[in-house]
Amino acid sequence: MTAASSDEIMAVAAARMLQDGEVCFVGIGLPSLAANLARATHAPDLVLVYESGTIGAKPSAPPLSIGDGELAETADAIVSVPEMFAYWLQGARIDVGFLGAAQIDRFGNLNTTVIGSYARPRVRLPGAGGAPEIARSCARVLVILRQTPRAFVERLDFVTSVGARVEAVVTDIGVLEPEPERRELTLTALHPGATLEQAQANTGWPLRVAPELKTIDPPREVELQALRRLARAAPSTAIRT
Amino acid sequence: MAAITSLSDAVAQLVQDGDAVALEGFTHLIPFAAGHELIRQGKRGLTLIRLTPDLVYDQLIGAGAARKLVFSWGGNPGVGSLHRFRDAVENGWPVPLEIEEHTHAGMAAAWAAGASNLPFGVLRGYAGTDLARHTRVAWIRCPFTGEELAAVPALRPDVAIVHAQEADRRGNVQLWGIAGVQKEAVLAAARSIVTVERIVDELEGRPGGVILPSWVLDAVCCVPGGARPSYALGFYDRDNDFYVRWDAISRDRDAFRAWVERHVLGTRDHDEHLRLLGAGR
């Protein structure tokens, strides 16, 4: 088997943060791939909740959209969108929210709305979707995105979702976690082969680093095999191999 | 009582230029045939309402039918941008597009309020975000606990249009699978049109089936394949390949215009549109 790419290491590291039996509200793209990887490996009883109203979906491949037919066909229950957001999410029934973003700041606040000004955006992004309420109503929040100076910015162009409940940010370089006092994101672990300099160069603010910087265990063969099987089966690949 | 009519008659009679129109369906059962009929009939100045504009509103926006968009997530799921939506917001092409954007939870609460004949919906949301400064949201205090909550104005469109699996001959409608906000949109709207895959003698109860009685609807139209390229559970799958291909079609203004000319304006109805799509593969 070829060596794991940095994207694959990121997906594996994120999947490991989900525990078996947890209830996870899943965003599309990288979060969905990682959540499905967790369910295919160490967390077979992970409950996947998609904002389309499918609770306990068990797709054989990561869906292209949050409402693909296979999610409905394999779900334990299908509820309307108002019920999903009011009873299940706001009702605090979800353990962990799993989000992506275009931009993140040092406090885990997320932008998925615009690059540039709101009135005259340079890039109009899709917008909020379910993210703001996922970020505030799940007991804990995981974020997964590639670490670049354009994504890890000193100041967000727009605050779409508030980062107060972010527990970890998993990137293609390492893992950042908020320190308890100011809740500033701190680099706590590097992926195998990644360097501190690389992490600093790809962060748009002076990056705090934990005193004992850990190294993530490299993907095991069973994890990598499962990930590649899922990525091949997906209609659109969220990761670079 | 709903009239069972052709889609072209329903759109001609029930949708006026300048109306607020909601074509709902959350990924599943998106009423594409009705969206195309709005383009064919050259409707203009519409306020389009939908949680996820999806390809159907990308097409309406690119065709110049919309003046305003009320939405909560404007992307091509799993693929990327809605390029016609972006071009309208970033460059005002083909006409400037006013936007009012919410979160899914906010839109869902606004739909439930509309269906409930209440002036606003209430939720824990928007606090601490920049959205609060750019959209129609206000803060209210709970009269019992003092908690501060977000209020969003109810959605009350002129027309709701949804797609369902089936209707009976009296125009009672049943849909099942992912049900999104279709019931709320129909009950919140002044008028409503439902397109269906088939008309049957008697509706057979389905697990999780949503019933829309004939007496809350204005028109029911039999349009098989009316949700393609989205899907109708039990009838056909989502055409994920088309969603991926839409990226290239919509990225370029001329390519988009050529597609609309040929596939929508150049076809008489949805049957012909689907035949052409099939032939073009």
The answer to whether residue B118 neighbours chain A at the CB level (below 8 Å) is no
3-state secondary structure chain A: CCCCCHHHHHHHHHHHCCCCCCEEEECCCHHHHHHHHHHHCCCCCCEEEECCCEEEECCCCCCCCCCCHHHHHHCCEECCHHHHHHHHHCCCCCCEEEECCCEECCCCCEECCEEECCCCEEEECCCCCCHHHHHHHCCEEEEECCCCCCCECCCCCCCCECCCCEEEEECCCEEEEECCCCCCEEEEEECCCCCHHHHHHCCCCCCEEEEEEEECCCCCHHHHHHHHHHHHHCCCCCCCC
Q: What is the pLDDT of residue A65?
A: 83
Residues of B in contact with A81 (CB under 8 A): 26, 51, 104, 108, 180-181
Residue A109 to chain B, least CA–CA distance (Å): 9
Q: Quick one: pLDDT at residue B238?
A: 92
Contact state of B128 with A159 under an 8 Å Cβ cutoff: yes
Instruction: Spell out which residues of chain B touch residue A51, defining contact as CB-CB under 8 Å.
Output: 104
Contacts of residue B79, Cβ cutoff 8 Å, sequence gap at least 6: A64, A236, B243, B244, B246, B247
Report ipTM (2 d.p.): 0.95
Render pLDDT for A165-198 as a digit per residue (tens, 0 to 9): 999 999 999 999 999 999 999 999 999 999 999 9
- Dist. CA B81–CA B86, nearest whole Å: 7
Indicate the average pLDDT of chain B.
96
Pick from B26, B239, B255: nearest CA to A67: B26
Nearest to A170 by CA among A117, A75, A96: A96
B63-86 pLDDT per residue, tens: 999 999 999 999 998 899 999 999
Q: Check if A73 is active-site.
A: no
Check CB contact under 8 Å for A160 and B130: yes
- CB atoms under 10 Å from CB of B96, counted, come to 11
Whether A85 and B109 lie within 8 Å, measured CB to CB: yes
What pTM, to 2 d.p., does this model score?
A: 0.96
CB–CB of B126 and A132 under 8 A? yes
Q: What is the mean pLDDT of residues B238-251?
A: 95
> Taking Cα atoms as reference points, which of A110, A120, A123 lies closest to residue B83?
A123
When scoring A28, A55, A64, A110 by the number of chain B Cβ atoms within 10 A, the one with the most, hence best to mutate, is: A64
User: Per-residue pLDDT for B281 more than 70?
Assistant: no
**CB < 8 Å to A123, chain B:** 86, 90
Tens-digit pLDDT profile for chain A (241 aa)? 789 999 999 999 999 999 999 999 998 888 999 999 999 999 999 999 999 999 999 999 888 888 888 899 999 999 999 999 999 999 999 999 999 999 999 999 999 999 999 999 999 999 999 999 999 999 999 999 999 999 999 999 999 999 999 999 999 999 999 999 999 999 999 999 999 999 999 999 999 999 999 999 999 999 999 999 998 887 766 667 6
